[in-house]
Chain A
């Protein structure tokens, strides 16, 4: 590698490259070890996207908040509340799904605006405010209904069709199964939504004034203010964005699970934070990228798939592997920071 490429790769970019390489490395290992169990099929990879579509949206929002130096731990509960509103509205009240979806998006905006206002303008610690938001949303979920409600063919035809709609990829990507039938790989609507969210967030962070302001605020809030940025407004917008993307994530999640229950998506916020950190976002803000977070989700998803495919391992091993990865990445970040300081 020539020097210029190496130069570009220093620090934060290198972290992203490591994340992406690690993902492919893990996946290839999976392909080799579990080749008999269908790991090599494209569909396994696509299923990874399908199961994690909700988390991808939520992690995108989380990345934005973390970039400006904040944190949003209300997202898991908000996803649960969104699912419950959809399931209860369609299952118990026979409401049409489109108004319900719009309602969820509006709730996300309002939810984020309140949290963002308190954090940005009232200068309250984001951890405390979003923790309040977490309890509130979880509580509201139970207030709406304590039962587990499923969305089926009979409750809402349209939503059911969306959830089961297969977007088929070209047939040559498929394979012939044991019965001699052609299996064409497919994805679902939620995957399209999630990928659009990642693309939109990437664009937002890289090419809009607001996106760059997030980095500035996360880098040094005082300086950002001195340079004439309205840090309060930027922070508020970040939380609105997070809750909004979280609501979209909630819809994707519901399309996947087709149910609503109080305990749903618990610990989701931590998954989102973990994915962002593995993807190279610093908890202190200012450094990170949504592409990294996307691969962060894919890595944690791959770990789970690997553990499940093995079949003999306790599923908790996935958690332990994630913990090890988190440590690995945080140590790596510290090492880079240290090297950078030394070389100055």
Chain B
């Protein structure tokens, strides 16, 4: 079975060693997903796998036949941006731009996780309903390093989109 990426199907006829990240960047030609560390330590390669965020560097492409992947290119385009992409621009939630696609994919999934009621380590009551506070956003976005240090603006961008959705 092929893998579906942003709605298009791709055959997985590759060296089994190929990470999903390298498959996206090389074989699918989708370089919006970035390689920052290749070891799950930075989050630049974050994509949505069947709707959930993962580090695409730490899984093999061949393991994902039949799966559906959404990358940054699948969220929106320069002409038709996703609300998060537009909010990141307005709030300057990026500088060099290299961690940015991962940040935005991560933020998209994060909002879905909160909507699904998933709590985090900073939630007051792990059994309760999570609140969308800045502290929650910071904890939940901590898997995406930004060396330029745009964190304050990233939180502002996500907060704005979350409030608009609420």
A and B part of one assembly: no
Q: Using CB atoms and an 8 Å cutoff, list the residues of chain B in contact with chain A.
A: none
